[in-house]
Chains A and B, each alone.
Chain A
Amino acid sequence: MRRRTILGYAVAGAGALASVLLFGWWQVDGPGAPESTGLLPLDLSVMDFSLTDHEGNEVGPESLIGRPSMVFFGFTYCPDVCPTTLSDISGWLDELGDDATEMNVVFITVDPARDTVETMEEYVSYFHSAIRGWTGAQDQIAQAVRGFRASYERVPTKSGDYTMNHTASVFLFDRSGRFVSMIDYHEPREFAVPKIRRALEEES
């Protein structure tokens, strides 16, 4: 009788420990993990999404492999952050000069409902000619955002429209598609250009 009680306790204890471990896994690594916080973007070679560029070409992460890449998210109805980011990037590209011509520079919209291929085509035309604009189906945009461990959210505004909260960092990948670093929004230009050079020089 006593032995059975002890065994009972042991089983219950092991069960409790297992649930704690399971709960921990669920929260940290499992499906219960908070999405895309503090995680680094995947390498382009393991990302999987399909979008259309501003000239109507089908594009995906594989289109970026072979050249160093600079990728960022935004939307064209954004009055402040996005034009600022695009003009910052245009400035960095000017500073890089000829080196910039061997780079992929991609602006992916998080608002495909309003940002059609034509909208993207007009929008990118106002900035450095190296910048490509990608849009596509909602689920493909969501998949791309997940791959970059970025996030976005549609937020209604007082004026009856909506705005998008979104990751404003610029992601840098080397020519093999390996993630190198990111440039945070507001990071001074003195830091940005050397980071881009690093992505350009990275051999792998």
Chain B
Amino acid sequence: MQFGKAVVKKNHLIKVLVSLLTFVGAPTSTLAGSEDLVVEGAWARASIGTSRPGAAYMTIRNTGDTPVTIVGLATPIALMSEIHETRTNAEGVSSMSSAGEITIEPGQNVALEPGGLHAMLMRLQAPMQEGESFPLTLKFDNGSTVEIVVPILGIAARGPSE
């Protein structure tokens, strides 16, 4: 949203449109739950081209007093995105599959981090380049959505602090 605002400053008509859109979009954020969901520390790994799936990580905190379930992800940079989980069995074999719906209890958080849960971005529409960022929308079972901007770090990155 911030990017959008900076670009349209010159054009008054678009500015009006943006405020209209903001107004239309407003009820979403006033729904119970949306303001209770805090997404922190989001980052993604740069991709090599577009043929490989990308991965994004973050922590989602439920500061409200009712459980909330993540029901979907959406981003313009990938045709399909969903939360996947890497599991490693007793023989040391790692496998990856859809994590299904993830419920966050009140006061709890769920961490999407390397080697565990991750937002899997499939069929990339553009390469994920280090230093750039992309929008990602998280959809919840109470109808609320949270849109975040995910910075893209290097392929070898382990997290935003490094």
Chain A positions near chain B (C-beta within 8 angstroms) = 36-38, 76-77, 79-81, 83-84, 86-88, 90-91, 122-123, 126-127, 150-152, 155, 157-159, 161, 163, 165-169, 182, 184-186
Contact = CB atoms under 8 A, between A and B. Distances in A.
B92 A80 contact: no
Contacts of A167: 91-94
Contact of B156 (A81, A86, A185): A86
B146 interface: no
Interface string B72-105: 0000000110001010100111111010000000
Interface SS, B side: strand
A182 B88 CA distance: 15
B123 to A, nearest CB: 6
Nearest to A114: B51
A81 B154 contact: no
B88 A185 contact: yes
Contact of A80 (B93, B114, B122, B156): B114
A79 B52 contact: yes
Contacts of A152: 93
A84 B155 CA distance: 9
B96 A184 contact: no
B8 interface: no
B5 to A, nearest CB: 32
Contacts of A127: 155-156
A77 B54 CA distance: 9
Nearest to B79: A159
Interface string B136-156: 000000000000000000111
B68 interface: no
Q: Closest 7 interchain pairs by CB?
A: A165-B95, A84-B114, A168-B94, A79-B55, A169-B92, A126-B155, A87-B156
